[in-house]
């Protein structure tokens, strides 16, 4: 059985692109049974995101983190279109785990935030 997928969108409340992408992201999540999703405001959750160590600078939005189980398999800025995230989800099983320390820390932090109930 494949590991469950988690898709986290890392955004900021002041970002107009993020605000517009939120509807697209929520629709994608609603169409993806079994997908765990998180909308992470990088400013509101800044301390929690760095709880496990330094994380990558998030300068462009939207930035997605895709995890297979608790392991990151994609991290990067994407175009704010549903098709981009859909393709990532479709390819997730074949993607190699990302071993960069900062991305691993970010994945640990998002996992912990989800477990704590601080994210939806």
Q: What pLDDT, on a 0 to 100 scale, did the predictor assign at position 2?
A: 81
Greatest extent of the chain over all pairs of C-alpha atoms, in Å: 40
Sign of CA dihedral 107, 91, 61, 97: positive
Q: What pLDDT, on a 0 to 100 scale, did the predictor assign at position 120?
A: 62
Instruction: Output the tens digit of pLDDT for each of the chain's 120 residues.
Output: 789 999 999 999 999 999 999 999 999 999 999 999 999 999 999 999 999 999 999 999 999 999 999 999 999 999 999 999 999 999 999 999 999 999 999 999 999 999 998 776
Q: What pLDDT, on a 0 to 100 scale, did the predictor assign at position 114?
A: 95
C-alpha to C-alpha distance for 49 and 69, rounded to whole angstroms: 18
C-alpha to C-alpha distance for 71 and 80, rounded to whole angstroms: 23
What token pair was written down for 25? Answer: 């992201």
Among 87, 90, 66, which residue's Cα sits nearest to residue 76?
66
Contact 76, 64 (CB under 8 A): yes
The model scores a pTM over 0.85? yes
């Amino acid at each position: 059985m494949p590991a469950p997928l988690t898709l986290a969108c890392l955004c900021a409340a002041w970002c107009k692109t993020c605000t517009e992408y939120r509807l697209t992201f929520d629709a994608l999540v609603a169409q993806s049974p079994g997908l765990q999703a998180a909308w992470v405001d990088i400013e509101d959750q800044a301390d929690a995101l760095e709880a496990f160590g330094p994380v990558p600078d998030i300068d462009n939005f939207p930035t997605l983190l895709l995890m297979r189980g608790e392991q990151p398999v994609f991290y990067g800025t994407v175009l704010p279109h549903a098709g981009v995230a859909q393709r990532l989800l479709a390819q997730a099983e074949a993607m190699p785990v990302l071993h960069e320390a900062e991305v691993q820390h970010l994945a640990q932090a998002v996992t912990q935030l989800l477990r704590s109930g601080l994210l939806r």
